[in-house]
Amino acid sequence: MIPASFDYARARTLDEALDLVAGADPSIRVLAGGQSLIPLMKVRLARPERLVDLGRLEALRGVRDRDAGGLCIGALTTWSALLEDHRVIRCGALADALPVIGDVQVRNMGTIGGSLAHADPASDIAAPALALGFEIVVRSAARGERSIPVGELFAGPFATTIAPDEILTEVRVLADAISSASAYCALPQPASGYPIAGVAVSLGSGSSDDAWLAIGVTGVGEQPYRAADVERAVAAGAPFDEAVAAIASGQRIAADIHADRDYRAAMAVVMARRAYVAADERRRSFV
């Protein structure tokens, strides 16, 4: 199939892009890398009436250090660019996820901001983002800039709390995320590469007595989520291997031709245990 007809506008500056979406028209879609949106348009699962192309906005590309010790990642920074940036290696779960996102072509074109704004329920980046506590920076012409904690970003399958007149401009990785020990493990669907279940675990970098825990899950529910029940159980003293059995608790577990609900939930437990072991090994190396 081919996409339905649409208007196209290429923004030359961020201000111009903000003006183009200022009407908060839900039929307008922002185009970043296009590796998620364009395939949906080809089969007409997405039918925007207008595309606003951000691809020429070099100001939204690249990684820079923050004064507080974290990182700022421009929304149009590609996966390949992140793979080549030595600073990203300090974020274990993020570094684990990057090589398994799509294929080489997708990683060369796809962007971190475009993926987060697209909010695919099985996005590899979502689990590390949740476990590491990313901050999502968006901007509108009318209200200026605001920051969204990533735990408040996902509102459902392919839905976020970003308003129609806002554009995602930057992803902030806090210093605490970099100083933590984290890991990401996923079971990919062989044809598409999307995770049947993907789990990121982040631990504090101190001794086991003062370690804290954050768990991000993707590919399992209707949207990526924090495994809060598991985190609370471990905080209350339960062994991780026992508490992790509740990783899909309260979720409407996805089922498709690749995995039924029981298998997907079971694989989430397996991936969580693997990620926890990997994160714990990294944490111990910090001590």
CATH classification of the domain holding 98: 3.30.465.10
* Domain assignment present for 85: yes
* Residues 125 and 67 both lie in one domain: yes
Kindly report the pTM of this predicted structure: 0.93
* Residues 70 and 146 both lie in one domain: yes
* Domain assignment present for 2: no
* Domain assignment present for 218: yes
* Residues 20 and 75 both lie in one domain: no
The stretches of 62-174 forming alpha helices (DSSP H) are 79-83, 92-97, 104-109, 112-118, 126-132
Instruction: Tell me which of 115, 147, 176 is where a domain ends.
Output: 176
pLDDT tens-digit map of 216-268? 999 999 999 999 999 999 999 999 999 999 999 999 999 999 999 999 999 99
End-to-end CA distance of the chain: 56
pLDDT score for 140: 96
Instruction: Tell me which of 143, 176, 209 is where a domain ends.
Output: 176
Please state, in angstroms and rounded to a whole number, the distance separating the CA atoms of residues 29 and 53: 9
* Residues 133 and 165 both lie in one domain: yes
Residue at 35: amino acid letter: Q
pLDDT score for 114: 95
Paired with 105 in beta bridges are none
* Residues 184 and 153 both lie in one domain: no
Position 209 pLDDT exceeds 80: no
* Residues 253 and 158 both lie in one domain: no
pLDDT band at 198; cut points 50, 70, 90: very high
Position 280 pLDDT exceeds 80: yes
Residue at 122: amino acid letter: A
Instruction: Tell me which of 161, 176, 191 is where a domain ends.
Output: 176
Residue 35 and residue 109 in contact, taking contact as beta carbons nearer than 8 Å: yes
* Residues 155 and 214 both lie in one domain: no
- Report how many domains make up the chain: 3
* Domain assignment present for 113: yes
* Residues 43 and 70 both lie in one domain: no
pLDDT score for 21: 94
Position 276 pLDDT exceeds 70: yes
pLDDT score for 56: 92
Domain CATH number, residue 239: 3.30.390.50
* Residues 123 and 218 both lie in one domain: no
* Domain assignment present for 282: yes
Position 132 pLDDT exceeds 50: yes
Q: What are the CA-CA distances from residue 117 to residues 23, 101, 123, 180, 240 (Å)?
A: 19, 16, 11, 25, 32
* Residues 140 and 154 both lie in one domain: yes
Residue 201 and residue 279 in contact, taking contact as beta carbons nearer than 8 Å: yes
Position 287 pLDDT exceeds 50: yes
pLDDT tens-digit map of 138-196? 999 999 999 999 999 999 999 999 999 999 999 999 988 888 899 999 999 988 889 99
pLDDT score for 208: 47
Position 123 pLDDT exceeds 50: yes
Residue whose pair of structure tokens reads 């839900």 in the numeric block = 26
Position 122 pLDDT exceeds 60: yes
Q: Which two tokens stand for residue 246?
A: 């509740």
Residue 124 and residue 133 in contact, taking contact as beta carbons nearer than 8 Å: no
Please state, in angstroms and rounded to a whole number, the distance separating the CA atoms of residues 134 and 86: 18
Identify the three-state secondary structure at position 63. strand
Please state, in angstroms and rounded to a whole number, the distance separating the CA atoms of residues 93 and 135: 16
pLDDT score for 262: 96
* Residues 87 and 161 both lie in one domain: yes
pLDDT (mean) for 122-141:
96
Q: What are the CA-CA distances from residue 143 to residues 15, 17, 57 (Å)?
A: 13, 15, 21
pLDDT tens-digit map of 63-117? 999 887 899 999 999 999 999 999 888 899 999 999 999 889 999 999 999 999 9
Please state, in angstroms and rounded to a whole number, the distance separating the CA atoms of residues 129 and 135: 9
Judged on CB neighbours under 10 Å (0-12, 13-18, 19+), 237 is exposed
Q: Which domain holds residue 230?
A: 177-286
Residue 148 and residue 172 in contact, taking contact as beta carbons nearer than 8 Å: no
Rg (CA), the chain: 19
* Residues 129 and 167 both lie in one domain: yes
Q: Which two tokens stand for residue 259?
A: 């995995």
pLDDT (mean) for 7-17:
94
Position 286 pLDDT exceeds 90: no
* Domain assignment present for 1: no
